[in-house]
Structures are given as C-alpha cells and as structure tokens.
Structure 1
C-alpha cells in the first residue's frame, strides 16, 4: 500500500505534497528535517492523505494533486474542515 499525503508547515503554512509506502516513517522524517525538500520548514501537520494500491497509482495521484486542478480539488475538499477557513486567513499551496 502507498500513500499520497499533504503536509502543512506550522512555520509558514505552505503545503507539501508527497507519496510514500510508510506514512508514519515519512512524516517523522519530515519533522526531523531529514527530507531535503522540506528541511527547515517544519514542524508539520498531516492534513490529508489517500491510500493507493500501488506505486504507479500513488505517483499519478501525487502528480495530479500538484496541478492547478488538483490544488483546487484539495482546497474545496479541505477548506470546510480547516481552522484557517474560519479566520479567513490565506492558505498557501506548493
């Protein structure tokens, strides 16, 4: 099983999208500054994930979620549940 996940930096509130076959391990690596692409941007919170049956599905889904349409999908899906939407603050996407 593979997972596509979205992390939000508690530091700058930007979102990071990735995929892994071990979600707990990867989340820990992000928060311990062991991932080059997010180093220095933590701590993070896991705000969304999807389970995929194989790596090919996970990479395809990750690629889609990084597109404009994918970001719009995530924003529409997550905004009602995010604390940020109550305050009217902007959410930043990468």
Structure 2
C-alpha cells in the first residue's frame, strides 16, 4: 500500500503534500531534517492521509491535490 499525506507546520502556517510507502518513517524523516523543504520548519504534524493501491496512484493523487493550489481545498480534505 502507498499513501499520500499532508503535513502541517504551525511555525510557518504551511502545508506540505507528499507520498510514501511508510507513513510513520516518512514523518520521522521530515522532522529529522532529511527533506530539503521541510527541514527548515520542524516540527511537522501529519494532518491527513489517503491509502492507495500503487505508487502510480499515489503520485497521481498527490499531483491532483498540488495542482489545485488551494489552501481551502486542503483544509476541506482535513475536515472530512
């Protein structure tokens, strides 16, 4: 299984969208500074995720969310 996830940094009031095979490990990597974008604004908290059947489905969904470029849409997903 693969996942798309949304992280939130209260420090900069921003969301980050990504995909992974292991949710817990990936969040640990973000908070350990192993991702260039997220390393500067730790801590990150996972606020949303979806489970998908394949990496290609997960990447497609990640891109779909990012293309909307909408904080309102992200907050709509989180509120579900």
TM over 0.5: yes
Q: Which runs of 4+ in 1 moved over 3 A?
A: 69-73
Quote the Cα distance in structure 2 between the aligned partners of 1:5 and 1:15.
10
* Largest Rg, 1 or 2: 1
TM-score (norm 2): 0.88
Where does structure 2 lack aligned partners over 5 or more consecutive residues? Answer: none
Residue pairs, 1:48-67, within 5 angstroms: 48-67=48-67
Contact 2:48-2:77 within 8 A present in 1 as well: no
Where does structure 1 lack aligned partners over 5 or more consecutive residues? Answer: 82-94
Provide, for residues 1-60 of structure 1, a one-character-per-residue CA deviation record: whole Å limited to 9, x for no partner: 101000001211100000000110000000111111211111011000000100000000
Quote the Cα distance in structure 2 between the aligned partners of 1:69 and 1:59.
16
Residue 20 in 1 paired to residue 15 in 2?
Answer: no
Partner in structure 1 of residue 33 of structure 2: 33
TM-score (norm 1): 0.76
User: Superposition RMSD on alpha carbons, in Å?
Assistant: 1.8
Aligned length: 80
Partner in structure 2 of residue 42 of structure 1: 42
